[in-house]
């Protein structure tokens, strides 16, 4: 009985550690936003204050404000395609 409690405690501890590492690994997989302008309107950051920052499918996204985040949320794939095209131009 004493061995069973030890085994269960070990399994529980190992599970907690594994979940903790997994969630940290997911956080680290977020790609940083590569552009210096809003993804929705194209305006350079800085003129209108702090951008609205959020994560979509492990990609950090920056837009000018919450209304532009709402525009992004209406058609995210359109803007993800735009981001991919902009990144491709940066690599050239």
Average pLDDT estimate for 43-70:
92
Provide the strand spans (E) within the chain. Answer: 52-56, 59-63
Helix (H) or strand (E) holding 77: helix 76-91
pTM: 0.67
The whole-number pLDDT of residue 26 equals 53
pLDDT digits (tens, 9 = 90+) for 30-51: 999 999 999 999 999 987 788 9
Residue 25 has pLDDT above 90, yes or no: no
Nearest 5°: phi and psi at 53? -115, 135
> What gap in Å lies between CA 59 and CA 36, rounded to an integer?
15
The whole-number pLDDT of residue 9 equals 73
More confident residue, 74 or 90: 74
State the average pLDDT for the chain: 86
Beta partners for 73? none
Average pLDDT estimate for 54-61:
97
């Amino acid at each position: 009985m004493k061995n069973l409690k030890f085994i269960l405690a070990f399994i529980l501890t190992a599970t907690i550690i594994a979940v903790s590492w997994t969630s940290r690994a997911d956080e680290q997989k977020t790609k940083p936003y590569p552009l210096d302008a809003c993804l929705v309107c194209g305006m350079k950051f800085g003129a209108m204050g702090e951008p609205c920052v959020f994560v979509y499918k492990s990609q950090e996204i920056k837009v000018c404000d919450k209304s532009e985040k709402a525009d992004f949320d209406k058609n995210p794939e359109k803007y993800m395609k735009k981001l991919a095209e902009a990144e491709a131009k940066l690599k050239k």
